[in-house]
Structure 1
Amino acid sequence: MSEPLIPQQLRSLIPLNALSDQQWRELRSQLVPQPLLAGQLLFRREDHARVTWYLLSGELLLRDADGVETRLEAGSEASCHPVSPTLPRLHEALALRDCSLLAIDSATLARQLTWGSTHQDLMLELSPDGDSEWLETLLASPLLARVPPANVRSMLERLRRVELPAGSQVMGEGETGDCCYFLQSGRAEVIRGAGSEQQLLAELEVGACFGEEALLGDCPRNASVTLLEDSVLQRLDREDFLELLKAPVVDEVSLGEAVRMLGSGGQWLDVRLQEEYERAHAPEALNMPLHLLRLKARLLNNGGTYLCYCDSGKRSASAVFMLSQLGFRAYALRDGLDALPALQRDALISETGAGYLARSGGRIERSR
């Protein structure tokens, strides 16, 4: 079996190039090249498999419903993007030469892109406070992957600072789990059992979370945690933790409803990466990538209506939640571009290139 590829070998692939090192590690098991021999089919037209394919080497023939054929060669600009990403597939894909391909679970990729944008947005806003190391580690933790991206800011706002001296037992084995903690500074040890049966399970460093298993499983603590140094903790109560695991409700619209809103002065907002936007976007759509949206929102018209879209609908849902918190009227295209029939999708994202710029107060002009 082939060894997994390393991120440096994949940095030209869009939008994979936006992922963090932690996200690359999470994808490691999926980064193994898959062979496709000359003459073999990769997928048929109308295929619904939620897999994002990239061509790493070789050449594919893409044939659409009208019989129009396109050659896709590895190393070309087009091969930096997913192969026929719309579902159901618009093309049949056949190997003209022996190929090597990368297959990424589309749902995992969509979640990582949304979370990555949220992470960047929070770090841009909060890192000037000067205490960013623990926050950086916290945001990269597996626990935070369970929290819907739109809720992460609320979670940080609900944390309560606790200062304790070395030797303090923060939680005891067998206790009821009423909260979890994040270690902002200091060190702690995790111990299970007592007396001669005592086992040291782990030492916790800055950014670590502990106590969450009792909350997720609604069970007693399975270990004790004692501080090895004077420490600063951030406490999150059980009720807040469980509430923040629920995805927030955002306003969504169908394409037909969005078109009616456009006729009444609505504005498309493409919240994907710039490279994705330039490949194809809606007419007169503004590009405000999710991770920059909070910074760029000051350019929007407070009285305007904004219609956000992305491929899967996840990034646009987070964008709508963020804009709503900032006082804007915003809606997400339900389930994203990938849920649209092929003809509707092609008609909607029909422009290519750099597109449009937002100026203060919501004024829009064509970029040069």
Structure 2
Amino acid sequence: MDRPGCVLALPHVCRRGRMTDTVAPTLFAHYVPLNALRPESQADLARKSAIVTAGKGEYLFRIGDPADKALFVLAGEVQLTDAQNRTLSVIRAGTPAAAHRLAHQSPRTVNAHCASEVRALAVDASLLDVMLTWDQTGSFEVGELTPSGDGGDDWMTRLLQMRTFQLVPPANLQAMFMRMQEVTVEAGSVVVKQGDDGDYFYVVMSGRCIVTREQPNQKPVRLAELESGACFGEEALIADGKRNATITALTRCKLMRLSKSDFQTLLNQPLSRRIGYAEAQKLVAAGKARWLDVRLPSEFQNGALPGALNLPLYILRMKLAQLDQNTTWIVCCDTGRRSSVAVFVLTQKGYDAYVLDGGMPAAP
């Protein structure tokens, strides 16, 4: 098996490129958005990272290469050039620009030419994106998920009253209810364990569940209680990541669950509501929509779409009142993964929202 971060994943790096086998998580403190990850996430990601060394005149990557590694300049100077080898910008180690990953778009839209010998931190880009999404939704994954009402309504009726499910084609809803499996759990049983892989989407038919979040060297934090009609587990499936909270039955519960594959086909794909950059730009220019950037403030400050509102994913549920429900929101992030989670949350709360397909465009 190839070693994570090996030169094979960077085809245009100097062929004599040297790498270290281990990366200290403490290194992440100086780079955005690595410094926003939880310590345990940093440790996991560091094990799948490497330090790459390339000589003067070599390329870290060329236009058209896949951006499977997020690269951060540790030492030296990198010139970002266009197809005609014209210099677009210069990234020097130790400067504010070097605190951010090099040209994240995939495939690469610029060349990264080493103007001197360069040492770069190479991080698994897909894993980084999953961890960012996981960490930023963790504390608030199920906040305010419980639908309004006195608890006596039929769970299916309450589910269909949520705007999220009103956007799903009727045929998909029918298939969803047919494919759902009923499960009964006793009081005290763990339904979803923090850190486990996402496998099912759940709806509470009857009973009550408690949501807790575990923190290193601390007691579990109680986040919410879920009652009849509440749903949970969708964010780990959308982000294709780990569970970021534990769900435990407070009373004897009857649950309906939908498998990950059925969730993706019947719910997530119809609800993703993707829009291309050109079309989105026209809507924004016409005053018919606004950009909503769900990246970290430090990422937003390093480059954002004109007029965009920054509302990081990790506080989105808490700050929904800031968003005008009469506005169409086009949600953006680097790759679209965090945006997909945000759009699911927004539509669940009655907002008109779209994912910017492909993530943020390359800077001109």
TM-score where L is the length of structure 1: 0.61
Q: Which amino acid aligns with 2:363?
A: D
**1:1-368 correspondence to structure 2 within 5 Å:** 2-69=20-87, 70-122=89-141, 138-139=193-194, 141-144=195-198, 155=202, 240=257, 242-243=259-260, 246-247=263-264, 248=268, 249-262=271-284, 263-337=286-360, 340=361, 345-346=362-363
Percent of paired sites with the same residue: 28
CA contact (8 A) 1:60 1:96 kept: yes
Following TM superposition, by how much is the alpha carbon of 1:331 offset from its aligned partner in structure 2, in angstroms? Answer: 1.0
Alignment CA distance shift 1:161-1:321 (3 Å): closer
CA contact (8 A) 1:270 1:309 kept: yes
SS in structure 1 opposite 2:318?
Answer: helix
Alignment CA distance shift 1:29-1:159 (3 Å): farther
CA contact (8 A) 1:62 1:92 kept: yes
CA contact (8 A) 2:332 2:355 kept: yes
Q: Which amino acid aligns with 1:312?
A: T
Q: Which amino acid aligns with 1:258?
A: A
Decide which structure has greater helix share.
1
- Unaligned segments of structure 2, at least 5 residues: 1-18, 146-188, 222-247
Alignment CA distance shift 1:244-1:67 (3 Å): closer
Aligned length: 264
SS in structure 2 opposite 1:295?
Answer: coil
Following TM superposition, by how much is the alpha carbon of 1:159 offset from its aligned partner in structure 2, in angstroms? Answer: 9.8
Q: Distance in 1 between matches of 2:322 and 2:118?
A: 46
Q: Deviations over 1:72-106 (max 9, x none)?
A: 22111111111122233233223233322111222
- Per the alignment, residue 182 of structure 2 pairs with none
- Per the alignment, residue 196 of structure 1 pairs with none
Q: Which amino acid aligns with 1:240?
A: R
Q: Distance in 1 between matches of 2:275 and 2:44?
A: 32
CA contact (8 A) 1:305 1:329 kept: yes
- Unaligned segments of structure 1, at least 5 residues: 127-133, 163-181, 186-204, 208-230, 348-368
SS in structure 2 opposite 1:142?
Answer: coil
TM-score where L is the length of structure 2: 0.62
